[in-house]
Amino acid sequence: MADFPGTWRTTLLRAAILLAVLGGIWPVLAASGGFAMHWLFAASGLFVLLGLCGRWNQPAFRIPFRLGLVACAAGDVLGPRNFHWGVACFLLAHLAFCVGCLGHGVAWSRLLRWSPVILAVSFGLVGLWLWPHLPERDRPLIVAYTAVISVMAWLAAGLRPSALRPWLWTGAWIFYLSDIFVARWRFVDPSAANGLVCYPLYYLACTLLARAVGRDLPPSSPPTSGVEEIGSHPESETAPPA
């Protein structure tokens, strides 16, 4: 299935993810019950499948992201049963995404520009807003998780230019945003309205990441700004994404 990205099958999988997410949140929207987790679990399996399809070259970039998507799906299944196991799965997922970002290649100049933003968001999120609401036993895990996802978002913001960068950067930051609502739901306000925000954002983020890692792109020419680049350099393309 090396030709998967860019074909009707990509569209079919993305449409299936959308329908599964809608099925998962519909009972809450219709005020007829809670979230239909079996539909959301199906959406998780579908974004893993989307990420697994496509080329398997550039392993330093593709394999970590694929492993991260599998860890996300595991967190989706374990999280409702055991919050701490779910957080641990997502922490591993973001560590894998960090490795994948380095495998893609990042630019020092971009990382430096984004450093103040990441520091402000992460310290403001945990220190000023979330910290007072955290149970003492949860604080070490949540601080560690926030640090790792902040590094992931920082590396995604610092990715070198490529056809994949918009997908990865956008997916990473939407993921970060969705987790803000997860934290609000868990520690601040138990309203199901948080789930109506975090679930669509989360599945959109994972779909974007899966779409990027599954893309079938021709090899690129060597980069011209090697002094500024870190990591390997995945292929690029001139055509817009399908």
pLDDT for 227 equals 35
The per-residue pLDDT for 237 is 39
Rounded CA separation 47/71 (Å): 12
Residue 2 domain-assigned? no
Max Cα-Cα span within the chain: 58
pLDDT at 4 over 90: no
Token pair recorded at residue 21? 């997410």
Residue 238 scores a pLDDT above 80: no
Whether 241 is covered by a domain: the verdict is no
Residue-wise pLDDT for 122-152, tens only, equals 888 777 899 999 999 999 999 999 999 999 9
R_g (Cα) of the chain, nearest Å = 18
Q: What is the mean pLDDT of the chain?
A: 87
Residue 2: band (very low, low, confident or very high) from pLDDT cuts 50, 70, 90: very low
Q: Percent of the chain scored above 90 by pLDDT?
A: 71
Residue 144, domain extent: 8-219
pLDDT at 220 over 60: no
Residue 19 lies in a domain: yes
What's the residue count for the chain? 242
Q: How confident is the model at residue 235 (pLDDT cuts 50, 70, 90)?
A: very low
Min mean pLDDT across 75-79, 146-150, 206-210, 215-219 is at: 215-219
pLDDT at 216: 59
Does residue 240 sit within a domain? no
Closest CA to 206 of 161, 170, 163: 170
Give domain status of residue 38, yes or no. Answer: yes
**pLDDT tops 70 at residue 223:** no
Q: Is residue 104 part of a domain?
A: yes
Residue 99 lies in a domain: yes
Q: What is the pLDDT of residues 165-204, one digit of tens each?
A: 999 999 999 999 999 999 999 999 999 999 999 999 999 9
Token reading at 25: 């949140």
Residue whose tokens read 């807003």? 129
Q: What total number of domains does the chain contain?
A: 1
**Would the pLDDT of 88 be above 50?**
yes
* pLDDT for the residue 234: 46
Query: For 5-16, what is each residue's pLDDT tens digit?
Result: 457 778 899 999
Q: Which residue has the tokens 């984004």?
A: 114
Q: Is the pLDDT of residue 48 over 70?
A: yes
Supply the pTM of this predicted model.
0.87
> Can you tell me the mean pLDDT for 20-46?
96
Integer Cα distance of 226 and 99 in angstroms:
19
Mean pLDDT of 222-235: 44
